Amino acid sequence: MKKLMAANWKMFKTWDEARATAQELVDLAAAKLPGDREVLVFPQFTALKGVADVFQGIDGFSVGGQDYYIKEEGAYTGEISPKMLESVGAVYGLTGHSERRHVLGEDDEYIGAKTSYGLESGLKVVFCIGEKIEDRKAGRVEEVLEHQIRVGLKNVPINIDPENLSIAYEPVWAIGTGEVAGPEEILEAHAFTRKILISIFGEKANEMRVLYGGSVKPANCAEIIALDNVDGVLVGGASLEGESFSQIVLA
Ligand code: PEP
């Protein structure tokens, strides 16, 4: 199973800026990328094709859409479909990100509909989960994660190819705060996530990637990626510069 080193560029970068960063990343990391690593960038929609073009023909580099709607086409002003994302080179889609849950108001049911629709439409999906700080303080981490996983994946067929679904554990209190979860917290949350995935999908869940996200940086990535059940990272702030994301990718 290849480790998935994913960048979430959120609502940053114009077309030119995104292409320049993508090119810098390729220049710094492509030739040295170990065979057991895969690089994925989620640019915002207007830069998706630009970044896909930069990655064209480069082994182990791909792009994904940060969001999509649950229909192929229609009168849904402002929305975009998996088919449209795929038409400009997207291979992946992202669902359940904490900013979509807690800033844009998406609930577990809708995130679940999006996750299964994206998979049905041919995207590989990175599905995010994670507790808020008040859940952790109240000892509710497992309860929150289990609920998010069970509802978010309830419509995903049991016979799914495990390569097509990755889960990103991203504690909300660690996203964009500089406060990275400690090794024990990551180990526990990832082992628990794996246990729930096995209870749903059986042994093949061992082949699903469970990523960690939340203030990953060049200085902490190697330690995180070496932990049990950590099959990659999802990186926001530190992925915005080619130099720093290339160090993460190669850590
Ligand atoms: C994210 O946006 O998914 C994220 C993990 O952000 P950051 O790395 O900045 O915490």
CA atoms within 13 A on the CB side of 199: 10
Residue 185 and residue 171 in contact, taking contact as beta carbons nearer than 8 Å: yes
Domains and CATH numbers, the chain: 3-249 (3.20.20.70)
Ligand 1 atom, smallest distance to 215 CA: 10
CA atoms within 13 A on the CB side of 63: 30
Residue that the structure tokens 């993508």 belong to: 22
Residue (of 105, 11, 14, 4) closest to 51 by Cα position: 14
Identify the band that residue 141 occupies on the pLDDT scale cut at 50, 70 and 90: very high
Residue range 151-157: average pLDDT?
A: 97
Identify the band that residue 247 occupies on the pLDDT scale cut at 50, 70 and 90: very high
Residue range 19-38: average pLDDT?
A: 97
Cα dihedral angle (12, 16, 18, 21), rounded to 10 degrees?
-120
Q: How much distance in Å is there from the Cα of 159 to the middle of ligand 1?
A: 31
Residues lining ligand 1, judged by CB closer than 6 Å?
8, 170, 175-176, 213-216, 234-238
Collapsing DSSP to helix, strand or coil, 104 comes out as coil
CA 104 – CA 106 distance, rounded (Å): 6
Enter the pTM of the model. Answer: 0.97
- List active site positions: 97, 170
Ligand 1 atom, smallest distance to 128 CA: 3
Which residue is closest in CA terms to ligand 1's atom 2? 236
Which residue is closest in CA terms to ligand 1's atom 3? 236
Q: Sign of the CA dihedral 107, 123, 145, 42?
A: negative
